[in-house]
Each structure stands twice: as C-alpha cells, then as structure tokens.
Amino acid sequence: MTLAAPLPAEPAPPSARPDEARPAEIRAKAAVEDLSFWYGPKQVLFSISMPVAEGCVTALIGPSGCGKSTFLRCFNRMHDLYPGNRYAGRILLEPEGIDIIGPKTDPMVPRMRIGMVFQKPNPFPKSIYENVAAGLRIRGVRSRTVLDAQVEKSLRRAALWEEVKDRLHASAHTLSGGQQQRLCIARALAPEPELLLLDEPTSALDPIATAHIEELIDELSRRYTIVVVTHNMQQAARISRFTAFFHLGRLIEFGPTEEVFTRPRETMTQDYITGRFG
Amino acid sequence: MSETGLPTTDGRRLIAAARRRDLLFAGIGLAVLFVATAVLLALVLDLVLTGAPHIDLDFLTSYPSRRASRAGILPAWVGSALVMLVTAALAIPFGIAAGLYLEEYAPRNRVTDVIEINITNLAGVPSIIYGLLALGVFVYGFRLGETILVAGMVLALLVLPVIVVATREALRSIPREVREAAFALGADKWQTVSMYLLPAARPGILTGIIVALARAIGETAPLVTIGALTFIAFLPPPPITAQPPFVSFEWLGSPFTVLPIQMFNWISRPQAAFHELAAAAGVVLLVMTLAMNGLAIYIRYRARRLLG
Ligand SMILES: Nc1ncnc2c1ncn2[C@@H]1O[C@H](COP(=O)(O)OP(=O)(O)O)[C@@H](O)[C@H]1O
Ligand SMILES: [Mg+2]
C-alpha cells in the first residue's frame, strides 16, 4: 500500500544524511484509522488516523498525559493485559493489512512481529544472555548456535556487545541504567521485529547514555521501522523523519519532521514546539 | 534571632527534641526486642542444657522403653521425617498451583472472591478442627486408616493456605514491567508464568514453604485426633527395597508417631528422667526444623545469586 494524503509522496530527505539513497516511494508499515481508546469509561484517544512509514523513524510528541504511551501500546495490544480497556477503529499492519486491534486478531500475532522498549529499563532478573535470547526461546528456538549468533548480532546492533561480551552470563541487573536500556533494545531486536516501538527510551537516562541511545536509533532506522515517543523536542527533531503531535488524546498535526518543526500548520503545534505550553 | 527572622536557637532545640524522640523510640524498641529474645533464648538454652547430655547414637536409634535409660526416639524422628515428606510432596505443588491459578488465571468474579476469602480464613482455623475433619473424611470416609499418609494429608491441608498466600504475594510483588516485557516479546501466558514469573517469585515462595513446614513439623493436636500412636516399637516399612522396583510405598499405610507426640508422652510421666528425655527429643525437633530452614535458605540464596 502506498501512503495516502497525510504523507507527501516524496518528502525532502533530511539534510543530515544527504548521501543516503531513499526509496523512490515511501510505503506504510502500518496505517492507523480512526483509532479511539478507553481506559474503562475514560476515553483517552479520539479518532486518530496516521500512517507509520516503513524504514523511517516516526516521533510522537506532545505534553505529558496527552496519550502518547497509550497510543503506542495499542500497536502490540499491551492494553489487553488489563481488564476494562477498549479499542475502536483499526490499525492495519502491512503488507497483509492485518487489523492489529480487530476483535478476531489474536494479540500474539502483532506481538510476534512488533518489538517494544519501555520507558524504564525492565530487563528480566536473568543473565544478559538470557535476556537477549528471551524472544527466541519464546519462539521455540533451541539450537545453541542459532541463539549464540543471534544474541551476539543483537547486542552488536544495540551497541552493547563490546561492553558485555566477557560477562554474558552475569545478571542483567549488574549493568548501568543506560546499558540496561540498550540491553532491552537488544532483547527487542533479537526476534527481528518488523516494527520497533520505543516509549521514551531515554527519559530515565543521563545525557551521555541518552546520546548513545539516540545514535543507536539513528543507526537502527536504516534497518527497522521505528515509532518513538519522546517529550524532548530536540530529540524528536534530531532522530525522526516524521512527527506526530498529540494533545489531549487528539492528533493535532502529522507530517515530515522538518515541516512540523519549521512551518507547522497548526498554531497549537507552533506554541508547543516553541515552548509556550507543555 | 537570625536575620531571616527564624529563631536559630529554637531550630537547634527542635532538632534536639527530635533526637530525643528518636532515642526514646529506639530505646523502647530495643527493650521489647531484648525481652522477647531473652525469653526465647532462655527457653532454648534450658532445653538444650537439659536435653543435650541425653542425645547420642543410642538415643537416636532406640525404640521407646519403660526404662528411661534405654528409651530412644527412632520411630518418632523417622515418623516425623516421613510425615513431613508426605506433607511437602502434597502442600508444595498444590499450594503453588493454587496460588498461581488465583493470581494469574482466575477470572475476577464472585466465585473467585469467595475462594480467596476462604483461603485467607483457613489459615486461622485451629489445627484440631483439621484433625476432626481428617478423622471424619480420610480415616472413616475414605478408610485410609490411622496412617502416615493421612497424617501427611492433614498437615498438608493445614499449611496449604500459607503456601498459597506466599505464592500470591510473591507473584504480586513482581513489577508489572516484567510481565509486560514478556508479553511484548510474544510470550503466551504459560511461557510468561513458567519462564519469567515463577523464577522471579521463587525466593518469596520458598519463604512461604519454610514457614509452612516449620509449622507442620511442630503440630500435635490434629495428629492425636487422627490416632497417632503414643507408644510404638517398630519402624514403618522402608521406602527403598532390595528387590526391583527398589522403591516401596508401603510405609504410607503404616501407623506412626511423631516427635512432638513422643515428647508429650514423656512429659506426662511422673519420673524426672523422662522429662529430660522429652527435652532431648525437643532439641532433635529443633535441629530438624533448623535443618529444613537451612536447606531452604541455601536454595533461596542460590536462586538469588543466579537471578542477581
Ligand atoms: N491505566 C490507566 N487507567 C486510566 N487512565 C490512564 C491509565 N494510564 C494512563 N491513563 C490516562 O490516560 C491519559 C494518557 O496517558 P499516557 O498515554 O500515559 O500519556 P503520555 O504517555 O502522553 O504521557 C492520561 O490522562 C492518563 O492519566
Ligand atoms: Mg508516557
């Protein structure tokens, strides 16, 4: 499926990487259509429609409590873990167009194809190796050679391999906060997800660890489709190709990051990115 | 008075007052703790001083006797050990399974609520009531007799709520992030439970098991009710045999006594010599309890070290 109206067919490539060849046509990895969400009786998302461009970083920005995490957690049906939550609308996962939140879709289906990294690093109380291998073990991979290879590959992609290669069997809790978050990224990458969800992955980290993770996201965006929640606008501007601005559960503006930040269509977006509220 | 208008001397006085309060409270706490510990220590010391001189190989390998000098606790400690084996084999798997079900699988509805309230209350039921229940249901109803099996079953029932509650608490204290991380990776419920939740809950569950078994090994009332013998001059059939299949469960159907009952029996005699034997048996009972605790603490320590 090619993207409809909200995405310009050929957005100007960000100046940061002029050398990189972009596909002539950006396709959607997912399409959100008229999505609403309720925590019990309380509606927190209102008729949201937007695409998620394949092979790009899409940033979700907006003031705290506007529903960014709630929106992100719809993609892998995390809300199904708690009673009383309700979705309406559709989230189509391409290329097949499976409706992620459709009542007939088993939540395991999107979770098998979509990885997630949480706001607070949440490694399992197990070894570094077992944390990265977790997704593969869940998928029934037993072969030691496959596990070893995939664990190393994922740790390398998460830029953590050099730091932990000599203590793969030490507890994950012996790592620093920034390392734990990169471990969680490696854990999410190991099963080779088609889409990676990051919920404020740097908010619990110090500036140096944050810089590490941002570099990493940039690196990963060559290979994965990424949706990242951030309340840090500089971060959104630095790392994303597209930006969605949320306010009080509504999508106020969506477009290429450059446009949203340099000439927003909505005054509310303008006010938010210039720091007038939020 | 300082320039800010805040009386500095008063500030110091406030801090001093706070210090005094802290000291006072710490003092009271320490005193209470000391009294409690001292009483316990005195009891244990008295028991050990009276009993220890009587503990030797003969004491552990002899049958009870009318003559104090020849009496031993062989059937009693073997009985205690076998009953505990049955109790553990029943209470641990059933307790963990029930706790797991209630915490992770049970739908939130009226039936579940009723079960939950019942389990919590069961922990407070006097143990002799369990004895009566076992006498009626297991001994007479199922005709299982006054056996080690029934003793193990009644003690398992008695301590089941402890393990159920401990399992639930341990599962509940796992941060929800761990659960979410597992589901987000595509795990199904059973994988989440078996690969991530149970290992993380292991220390808490083990603590529950220690408490449960320590309570079970000291129980007397329900076992007297179901007809444990007070004088016994034989051992149950051995669980390991010379002929294939080398294991035998005949011992489950054997009459039995346990250490607390043996102690009670000796205490009720007029001769002082038997009172000293009771103390010696008490020391053995304490050592068995401590050994069980030690084992569980060791397992828990190893689990912690593995988990970090
Ligand atoms: N489990 C929940 N139950 C009820 N309301 C919730 C729950 N989680 C979040 N909310 C509410 O939903 C709104 C959106 O929250 P969230 O998605 O966490 O915002 P953000 O991630 O943008 O800060 C907030 O008003 C928040 O209070
Ligand atoms: Mg959030």
Confidence of residue A240 (pLDDT cuts 50, 70, 90): very high
Q: Which of B138, B142, B125 is nearest to B227 (CA)?
A: B138
Taking CA atoms only, the protein residue closest to ligand 1 atom 3 is A39
Distance A39 CA to ligand 1 centre (A): 8
Quick: pLDDT tens for B85-125: 999 999 999 999 999 999 988 888 888 889 888 888 887 88
Whether the CB of B107 is below 8 Å from some CB of chain A: the reply is: no
Look at B184 and A111 and tell me if their CB atoms are within 8 Å.
Answer: yes
Q: Looking at chain B, which residue has its C-alpha nearest residue A171?
A: B308
Q: Is A50 exposed, middle or buried (0-12, 13-18, 19+ CB in 10 A)?
A: buried
For B156, the token pair is 């398992």
Distance A74 CA to ligand 2 centre (A): 13
Look at B181 and A137 and tell me if their CB atoms are within 8 Å.
Answer: no
Distance B257 CA to ligand 2 centre (A): 62
Structure confidence at residue B4 (pLDDT): 60
ipTM: 0.86
Residue A65 CB–ligand 1 contact under 6 Å = yes
pLDDT at A13 over 70: no
CB nearest B183 (choices: A111, A125, A171): A111
Residue A8 CB–ligand 1 contact under 6 Å = no
d(CA A252, CA A43): 17
Structure confidence at residue A212 (pLDDT): 82
Look at B185 and A172 and tell me if their CB atoms are within 8 Å.
Answer: no
Structure confidence at residue B3 (pLDDT): 58
Residue A178 CB–ligand 1 contact under 6 Å = no
Q: Looking at chain B, which residue has its C-alpha nearest residue A190?
A: B185
Mutate to test the pocket of ligand 1, among A36, A37, A44 (most ligand atoms within 8 A of CB): A44
Structure confidence at residue B307 (pLDDT): 54
Whether the CB of B173 is below 8 Å from some CB of chain A: the reply is: no
Distance B126 CA to ligand 1 centre (A): 47
Distance A225 CA to ligand 1 centre (A): 25
Structure confidence at residue A15 (pLDDT): 47
Structure confidence at residue B165 (pLDDT): 93
Residue pair A147/A136 in contact (Cβ under 8 Å)? The answer is yes
Fold of A28-122+194-273: Rossmann fold (3.40.50)
Helix (H) or strand (E) holding A147: helix A144-157
pLDDT at A234 over 60: yes
**To the nearest whole percent, how much of chain A has pLDDT over 70?**
91
Structure confidence at residue A166 (pLDDT): 94
Look at A122 and B180 and tell me if their CB atoms are within 8 Å.
Answer: yes
A229 by DSSP, 3-state: which? Answer: strand
d(CA B148, CA B102): 30
Whole-angstrom Cα Rg for chain B = 26
DSSP state of A165: T
Whether the CB of A191 is below 8 Å from some CB of chain B: the reply is: yes
Distance A22 CA to ligand 2 centre (A): 31
Whether the CB of B175 is below 8 Å from some CB of chain A: the reply is: yes
Distance from CA of B177 to the nearest CA of A (A): 6
Task: List CB contacts (< 8 A) between B179 and chain A.
Answer: 81
Whether the CB of A93 is below 8 Å from some CB of chain B: the reply is: no
pLDDT at A249 over 70: yes
Q: Is the dihedral of CA B187, A180, A75, A9 positive or negative?
A: negative
Task: List CB contacts (< 8 A) between A171 and chain B.
Answer: 306-308
Structure confidence at residue A203 (pLDDT): 85
CB nearest B191 (choices: A115, A138, A184): A138
Residue A144 CB–ligand 1 contact under 6 Å = no
Task: List CB contacts (< 8 A) between A172 and chain B.
Answer: 308
Mutate to test the pocket of ligand 1, among A38, A48, A70, A247 (most ligand atoms within 8 A of CB): A70
d(CA A241, CA A222): 12
d(CA A87, CA A43): 10
DSSP state of A84: T
pLDDT at A164 over 90: yes
Report in angstroms the alpha-carbon separations of A219 from A71, A132, A236, A242, B147: 24, 19, 15, 16, 70
Average pLDDT in the A265-276 region?
Answer: 88
Residue of A100, A119, A126, A183 to mutate, testing the B interface (most B Cβ within 10 Å of its Cβ): A126
Structure confidence at residue A4 (pLDDT): 46
Q: What angle do CA A207, A209, A213 make, to 5 degrees?
A: 110
d(CA A17, CA A20): 6
Residue A64 CB–ligand 1 contact under 6 Å = yes
Structure confidence at residue A90 (pLDDT): 94
pLDDT at A1 over 50: no
Whether the CB of A184 is below 8 Å from some CB of chain B: the reply is: yes
Residue A73 CB–ligand 1 contact under 6 Å = no
pLDDT at A11 over 80: no
Structure confidence at residue B244 (pLDDT): 72
Digit-by-digit pLDDT tens for chain B (308 residues) are 445 666 566 788 888 888 999 999 999 999 999 999 999 999 999 989 988 888 888 888 888 888 888 888 888 898 899 999 999 999 999 999 999 999 988 888 888 889 888 888 887 888 899 889 888 888 888 888 888 899 999 999 999 999 999 999 999 999 888 999 999 999 999 999 999 999 889 888 998 998 899 889 888 888 888 877 777 777 887 777 777 777 778 788 788 888 898 899 899 888 888 999 999 999 999 999 898 888 888 887 877 665 54
Task: List CB contacts (< 8 A) between A170 and chain B.
Answer: 308
pTM of the complete model: 0.79
Confidence of residue A232 (pLDDT cuts 50, 70, 90): confident
Q: What is the mean pLDDT of chain A?
A: 88
Residue pair A161/A186 in contact (Cβ under 8 Å)? The answer is no
Structure confidence at residue B292 (pLDDT): 86
Quick: pLDDT tens for A166-190: 999 999 999 998 899 999 999 999 9
**To the nearest whole percent, how much of chain A has pLDDT over 90?**
69
Quick: pLDDT tens for A113-148: 999 999 989 999 899 999 999 999 999 999 999 999
Distance from CA of A246 to the nearest CA of B (A): 24
Least confident range from A77-86, A214-223, B168-177: namely A214-223
Structure confidence at residue B239 (pLDDT): 76
